[in-house]
Amino acid sequence: MRRNLPIIAIDGPSGAGKSTLGRMIARALGLLYIDTGAMYRAIALAVLRSRAKFTDTAAIAELARRARIELSGDPSSLRVMLDGEDVSDEIHSEQVSHVASLISAIPEVRREMVKQQRELGARGGVLVGRDIGTVVFPDADVKFFLTATPEERAQRRYEEDRARAQDLTFDDVLREINIRDERDSTRADSPLRIADDAVVIDTTELSIDEVFERMMKVIREKRAAGESQSAP
């Protein structure tokens, strides 16, 4: 399928700023925003509701195949629909986050999610996740890998959780960040890694606006280079 709009891939570990910056870039460029982490959270919610055992990977994979996940709305107010129900708020609970981390390591679930993500982004958009530039869209027009120290990422996530009135300590969040990093980096299927042609940005000492400007500069330069190559 020929597309007229670019695909921008933003990968990185939890708390690196992917979602916030993905929304900002999608809004600035008028592109579809696809939060792949929200898709895994929706499947995690379906698993919790079904009471399937976490060891029953076949049942979980079947739930992923049957689930209808839709993303809609402005990037800054993305709504996540699971089988026609708006679950945008419910998928951000600590329990759902934990289960999402577990099921995202199941190869059958990842393959189903990759299939759906490719369908959603086939005509262009900004996709954020952990394997967008390496697996989902290895031919993305622009690839970024955002990172930061575990402590900085944990502080950001801790502040987000406090805003949602979740009762977690900083040490709890840091521990979960480190566990998630290990799980994401060592899983056999679609591990978290930096694409060879990705632009890496360490966001530890940078403000959101500073990172946004760096990313937009890269996008503008890539677009200009592409236009010059296609010119007769």
Complete DSSP assignment for 15-83: TSSHHHHHHHHHHHHT--EEEHHHHHHHHHHHHHHHT--TT-HHHHHHHHHH--EEEES-GGG-EEEET
141-159 pLDDT per residue, tens: 999 999 999 999 999 989 9
What amino acid is encoded at 144 in this protein? F
What amino acid is encoded at 32 in this protein? L
Q: What is the pTM of this model?
A: 0.88
The tokens for 8 are 């921008």
- Provide the CATH number for the domain around residue 177: 3.40.50.300
Report yes or no on 2 lying in a domain: no
Tally of structural domains, the chain: 1
Contacts of 165 (CB under 8 A, 6+ apart): none
Report yes or no on 210 lying in a domain: yes
Report yes or no on 119 lying in a domain: yes
Report yes or no on 1 lying in a domain: no
CA distance 175 to 94: 14
Report yes or no on 232 lying in a domain: no
| Closest by Cα among 44, 46, 25 to 34 | 25
Where is the binding site for ATP, in residues? 12-20
Report yes or no on 231 lying in a domain: no
Q: Which domain holds residue 53?
A: 7-225
28-58 pLDDT per residue, tens: 999 999 999 999 999 999 999 999 998 899 9
Where is the binding site, in residues? 12-20
